[in-house]
Structure 1
Amino acid sequence: MIFKLIKISFAIAVLAAILLFYFQLWPFWPVLLIILVYAILILILSTNVQLNFFVKAYNKNPDFSQNVISLSFDDGPDENTLKILDILDQYDAKAVFFCIGRKIKEHPEIFKEVINRGHIVGNHTFSHTRKMGFLGSRTILNEIKKCDEIADEIGEVKMNLFRPPFGIINPKTQRALSKTGHKVIGWNIRPYDAITKSPEKILQRITKKINRGDVILLHDNMPNTAPILEQLLVILKQRKIGIVRADKLFDIHAYN
Structure 2
Amino acid sequence: MFKKKVWLLFIVLFVCTGLVREIDTVNAAGAGSLKLGVNDKLTKIDAVSIKDTYYVSLRDLSLELNLNLTLQGVGIHVKGNNGSIELLNDHATALLPNGKTIPLKTFVENGRTMVPVKMTSHLGFSISFKPAQSLLRVYNSGAKLDDAAFVNQHKKALQQNVTTGTTGTKGKVVYLSFDDGPSATTSQLLNILAKYDAKATFFMLGNNMNAHASQVKRLVKEGHAPALHGMTHVKDKFYASPASALKEMNDDNAILKKITGQSTTLIRTPYGSKPYLTKPFRDKILTQGYHLWDWNVDSEDWRYKNDSNSIYNTVMREVHGLKKSSPVILMHDQKATLKVLPRILETLKKEGYAFHVITSDMEPNNFWKDKR
TM-based fold match above 0.5: yes
Q: Provide closer, same or farther for how the CA distance between residues 157 and 226 of structure 1 changes in structure 2, counting only shifts above 3 A.
A: same
Secondary structure in 2 matching 1:206? helix
Deviates more, 1:115-124 or 1:190-199: 190-199
Amino acid aligned to 1:214: P
Determine the structure 2 residue equivalent to 1:149.
254
Equivalent positions of 1:1-256 (< 5 A) are 63-64=133-134, 66-131=171-236, 134-168=239-273, 169-197=277-305, 198-211=307-320, 213-220=326-333, 222-247=334-359, 250=362
Q: Provide closer, same or farther for how the CA distance between residues 105 and 248 of structure 1 changes in structure 2, counting only shifts above 3 A.
A: closer
Amino acid aligned to 2:289: G
Greater share of residues in strand: 2
Instruction: Tell me, in whole angstroms, the C-alpha distance in 2 between the residues paired with 1:128 and 1:226.
Output: 22
Shift of 1:249: 9.1
Checking the alignment, whether the CA contact within 8 Å between 2:238 and 2:244 is kept in structure 1 is no
Shift of 1:235: 0.8
Q: Provide closer, same or farther for how the CA distance between residues 133 and 64 of structure 1 changes in structure 2, counting only shifts above 3 A.
A: farther
Instruction: Tell me, in whole angstroms, the C-alpha distance in 2 between the residues paired with 1:248 and 1:161.
Output: 7
TM-score (norm 2): 0.49
Instruction: Tell me, in whole angstroms, the C-alpha distance in 2 between the residues paired with 1:101 and 1:64.
Output: 35
Deviates more, 1:191-200 or 1:93-102: 191-200
Percent of aligned positions that are identical? 26
Checking the alignment, whether the CA contact within 8 Å between 1:188 and 1:214 is kept in structure 2 is yes
Shift of 1:185: 1.5
TM-score (norm 1): 0.69
Checking the alignment, whether the CA contact within 8 Å between 2:206 and 2:256 is kept in structure 1 is yes
Checking the alignment, whether the CA contact within 8 Å between 2:242 and 2:285 is kept in structure 1 is no
Secondary structure in 2 matching 1:180? coil
Structure of higher RCO (CA pairs closer than 8 Å, 6+ residues apart): 1
Instruction: Tell me, in whole angstroms, the C-alpha distance in 1 between the residues paired with 2:259 and 2:238.
Output: 28
Instruction: Tell me, in whole angstroms, the C-alpha distance in 2 between the residues paired with 1:147 and 1:196.
Output: 28
Deviates more, 1:129-138 or 1:104-113: 129-138
Checking the alignment, whether the CA contact within 8 Å between 2:182 and 2:209 is kept in structure 1 is yes
Shift of 1:176: 2.6
Amino acid aligned to 2:310: K
Q: Provide closer, same or farther for how the CA distance between residues 76 and 232 of structure 1 changes in structure 2, counting only shifts above 3 A.
A: same
**4+ runs of 1 displaced by more than 6 Å?**
none
Instruction: Tell me, in whole angstroms, the C-alpha distance in 1 between the residues paired with 2:361 and 2:239.
Output: 32
Which runs of 5 or more residues in structure 1 are unaligned? 1-57
Q: Provide closer, same or farther for how the CA distance between residues 71 and 64 of structure 1 changes in structure 2, counting only shifts above 3 A.
A: farther
Checking the alignment, whether the CA contact within 8 Å between 1:63 and 1:213 is kept in structure 2 is no
Shift of 1:179: 3.8
Secondary structure in 2 matching 1:128? coil
Instruction: Tell me, in whole angstroms, the C-alpha distance in 1 between the residues paired with 2:211 and 2:201.
Output: 19
Q: Provide closer, same or farther for how the CA distance between residues 200 and 132 of structure 1 changes in structure 2, counting only shifts above 3 A.
A: farther
Greater share of residues in helix: 1
